[in-house]
Amino acid sequence: MKSRNDGTPAAESQDSGDSTGSSASGPCRGDPQEPGAGTQQEGRGLWTRPRIVVAIVSITAIICFAAGLRAYLPRESWIEVGAGPSPASNPLKGMMPFAPADPAEAPQLAESAPPHTMEWVYIPLNEVVTGPGAYDWRAVEDRLEAISSRGHQTVLRFYVDYPGRPSALPDYLVEEGRVRTRSYTVNGNDGASVSPDYNDPDMMEMLTSFISAFGQEYDGDPRLGFITQGLVGFWGEGHTWPMNGTRSPANPSGEDWMATEANQEALVAAWDEAFDTTPTLTRYPTPASAEHAVGYHDDSFGYATLDNADWHFMSLMKRAGATAVWQTQPIGGEVYPEIQDCVLLTPSDCPQAARDMSSGRNYDVPGSIRATHASWLINNWAFTAPLDSAQRDRVLEASSATGYELAVTRWRMDGERVEVELTNHGVAPFYYDWDLEVIALDDAGQEVGRSTLDGDLRAVLPGTEVAFSGEVSGPGATTVLLRAVNPMEGGAPLRFASAGQDTTWEGYLTLGTAGPQED
């Protein structure tokens, strides 16, 4: 088969393909090889064998012309693929709501809720850790199953101390009195939760053992999109502010309840060791964390993100030497909850905006997406509050602006060999090595061939073009489709920002038509 565009070979752009034979030898070099071939022979007079000479010259010319074509003309011309609309949503990118706390309940979303492919969930650690080295994964399974049943992938965090909720310190550490805890009333807690001593050896042993077991059980599970490392600090956010070692009215003695830097590094290292496929993200970038294959999340996104203040997220990323980490590890976060209802439409109308902005706060979600190369953001308000058309449009724009936007620029097919070139119009790569499949259909629209192309979607960085290739055998094929395979059963299809998306089969890109191999 050869690729077709409206029934004729395309010629928009040409590659030489294989360039064998470019230094021809023998008669194709133009050197005389036969005595008397176009020369005078002594003792024989002029052109004693004219017919033989003419025949040799003619045959030689034909051979050289054919060899030249093979050496310098393309195997098959590329067919350009037109641009298509930006997909409204795509897997493993965009904004998302909270999943129901009870996995048996259905989400309570507004009718105006924008499309999404992920849901966020907190899980109390004591629902999983039942004893030293003992784990009950039902709390994880119930949530993953509920969320995947809606075609969505899960982003999660485990916590030990969530202000206002009961402590999630595993029972055996409490009952045996093995870890000291502190009561507190800051952050709206009113004594409901307690802050454990994160530097207690038993506490660190419990945490690192859990991380290892979690990785063994769930690394690479297609229902899991991303994991924020969590576990320590208020809300599992990696801080204990205002109990952070600084004297303040809320902390007059300047106590520091956070894990030491050495223990924080040990936890990041444990996550890096436990997970090779599923990306994990830590809250605060440090030079130590930058040595590990982990991403980062900013839970004050759009508010304290840009590098105009030394404690903002991007300032910390710069000091840690982690500003290029997005090329291999994801960036995520949560739009700062206090401004979710106003920051996307008219930031200056947000309560306290004038005061906060004069103090250096950003109120800038689009700029923060560009600066961080964020792939996903929690924005629960956008899914649970009724949105007018202007608000919904802004949410869709911001959600679409995150992460990757893959597009096919051109393709070609010669015989069974297929080549496809992808580019990325987004701000970040796709972080999973999903299969890229090519499918051949016959005149009746029936599948006659399917194959996985060679290549790695993770390599398609923004602004680059990467070729994928392979072979598909499809007798009688007339139409060629492409798709990236979501390994989660029932998961959202990855859509390309290219003309032909969903035109033949839902979730597939129609590349074009193919005809029989020409003689």
In this prediction, residue 414 has a pLDDT band, given cuts at 50, 70 and 90, of very high
Mean of the per-residue pLDDT values of the chain = 88
Task: Identify whether 242 is preceded by a cis peptide bond (ω within 30 of 0).
Answer: yes
pLDDT number for residue 76: 65
Q: What percent of the chain has pLDDT over 90?
A: 82
Mean pLDDT is lowest, of 9-13, 178-182, 363-367, 499-503, for: 9-13
Instruction: Count Cβ atoms below 10 Å from residue 390 Cβ, excluding itself.
Output: 11
First and final CA of the chain: distance in angstroms? 11
Locate tokens 């709206």: which residue? Answer: 188
In this prediction, residue 191 has a pLDDT band, given cuts at 50, 70 and 90, of confident
* Beta-sheet strands, E only, within 191-316: 194-196, 224-228, 231-234, 280-282, 295-301
Instruction: Count Cβ atoms below 10 Å from residue 186 Cβ, excluding itself.
Output: 16
pLDDT digits (tens, 9 = 90+) for 16-30: 344 333 333 333 433
pLDDT digits (tens, 9 = 90+) for 104-126: 999 999 999 999 999 999 999 99
pLDDT number for residue 3: 54
pLDDT number for residue 302: 99
In this prediction, residue 47 has a pLDDT band, given cuts at 50, 70 and 90, of very low
The two structure tokens encoding residue 368: 């923060």
pLDDT number for residue 515: 62
Contact (Cβ atoms closer than 8 angstroms) between residue 138 and residue 168: no
| Separation between Cα atoms, residue 225 and residue 279, nearest integer Å | 8
| Separation between Cα atoms, residue 323 and residue 316, nearest integer Å | 9
Backbone torsions φ then ψ of 441, nearest 5 degrees: -115, 150
For the chain, domain boundaries: 27-72, 79-85+405-515, 94-401
Name which residue leads in pLDDT, 495 or 49.
Answer: 495
The answer on pLDDT for 433 being more than 60 is: yes
pLDDT digits (tens, 9 = 90+) for 60-101: 443 333 334 333 335 569 999 999 999 999 999 999 999 999
pLDDT digits (tens, 9 = 90+) for 202-257: 999 999 999 999 999 999 999 999 999 999 999 999 999 999 999 999 999 999 99
Span 303-310, average pLDDT = 98
The two structure tokens encoding residue 9: 């070979």
Q: In angstroms, what CA-CA distances link 413 with 385, 472, 475, 478, 513?
A: 49, 10, 14, 12, 10
The answer on pLDDT for 418 being more than 50 is: yes
3-class SS letters over 13-72: ECCCCCCCCCCCCHHHHCCCCCCCCCCCCCCCCCCCCHHHHHHHHHHHHHHHHHHHHHHH
3-class SS letters over 383-451: HHCCCCHHHHHHHHHHHHHCCCCEEEEEEEEECCEEEEEEEECCCCCCCCCCCEEEEEECCCCCEEEEE
The two structure tokens encoding residue 144: 């993953």
CATH of 94-401, one of 3.40.50, 3.20.20, 3.30.1050, 2.40.160: 3.20.20
**SS3 assignment, position 480:** strand
Element (H, E) at 140: helix 138-148
Span 437-444, average pLDDT = 96
In this prediction, residue 1 has a pLDDT band, given cuts at 50, 70 and 90, of low
CATH T-level topology, domain 79-85+405-515 = Immunoglobulin-like (2.60.40)
pLDDT digits (tens, 9 = 90+) for 255-274: 999 999 999 999 999 999 99
Name which residue leads in pLDDT, 476 or 434.
Answer: 434
pLDDT digits (tens, 9 = 90+) for 352-374: 999 999 999 999 999 999 999 99
The answer on pLDDT for 55 being more than 80 is: no
Contact (Cβ atoms closer than 8 angstroms) between residue 116 and residue 140: no
The answer on pLDDT for 48 being more than 60 is: no
